[in-house]
Amino acid sequence: MASLLAGCESLPFMSSRSGAPEPVESPPVSGQPEAVGEGQQCPQPEEVVCQEPEVKVVERVIERRFETVVEVPVAKDKLVLGSVESVSIEPGGLILDSLIDSGAPTSSLSAKELQPFERDGKEWIRFKLAAPNDNSEPVTIELPVKRYVRVARPGFESQRRPVVDMSLTMGQVTHMVEVNLTDRSSLDYPLLVGRNFLKDAAVVDVSRRNVQGQPRPPLSK
């Protein structure tokens, strides 16, 4: 046993001499901070600034559309009239400012001192027309009565008006039409031209006035 124990004690000595490799120390585990030696300093902390996100400004443009006025050609045989025109009336030889009203079925003329009478067994009427010039004397006209019409007016009682045939001229267009007689002195225009003149003869542009200018009756020089 003494020899055996002596042999075991001699094993480390024999292994160091036998040339066996000595155990190698493992390197330090990564991630562990190394000891800072003398003369070394810690780096200064750097301030990190995050960049602000880029903001794109989009300009909004609002497109406004405007209505375009387009002139529509009118047939050559149609008369273009404004809302107000100068009209020559016969008999009488007067030129009056007239209101063009496509809603009225017949034309209407301002007349005063209406006096019915009989001539050759037929009913006639005598009336006076005020001249456009206040200094001129009223014109007296006598015409046969063609018929009577009853005209209803909003807010007023209906009127029974005599109807006569008269020649109206606007521009170079002349028509013989029925005209009812009444007192229109409280209105702006002494003559109202209705559909019986406009039908199949004229078109009305309500945005314009005095398109035809002075009337030119067929017999005028």
pLDDT tens digits, one per residue of 116-153: 999 999 999 999 998 877 667 889 999 999 999 988 77
Rounded to two decimals, the pTM is: 0.62
pLDDT of residue 152: 79
pLDDT tens digits, one per residue of 155-198: 777 889 999 999 999 988 899 999 999 998 888 899 999 999 99
- CATH code, 113: 2.40.70.10
Task: Give domain status of residue 220, yes or no.
Answer: no
Task: Say yes or no to pLDDT of 71 above 60.
Answer: no
Give mean pLDDT, residues 79-100.
92
pLDDT of residue 172: 86
pLDDT of residue 73: 47
pLDDT of residue 72: 46
Identify the domain containing residue 113 by its residue range.
Answer: 83-204
Task: Give domain status of residue 100, yes or no.
Answer: yes
Task: Give domain status of residue 200, yes or no.
Answer: yes
pLDDT of residue 136: 77
Task: Give domain status of residue 125, yes or no.
Answer: yes
Task: Say yes or no to pLDDT of 8 above 60.
Answer: no
CA distance 182 to 160: 9
Q: Are 184 and 112 in contact (CB under 8 A)?
A: no
Beta-bridge partner residues of 191: 98, 109
CA distance 128 to 54: 87
Task: Say yes or no to pLDDT of 83 above 60.
Answer: yes
Task: Give domain status of residue 38, yes or no.
Answer: no
pLDDT of residue 124: 96
Task: Say yes or no to pLDDT of 29 above 90.
Answer: no
Task: Give domain status of residue 103, yes or no.
Answer: yes
Task: Give domain status of residue 104, yes or no.
Answer: yes
DSSP, res 32: S
Mean pLDDT of the chain: 77
Nearest of 186, 184, 165, 185 to residue 176 by alpha carbon: 165
Structural domain tally of the chain?
Answer: 1
Task: Give domain status of residue 179, yes or no.
Answer: yes
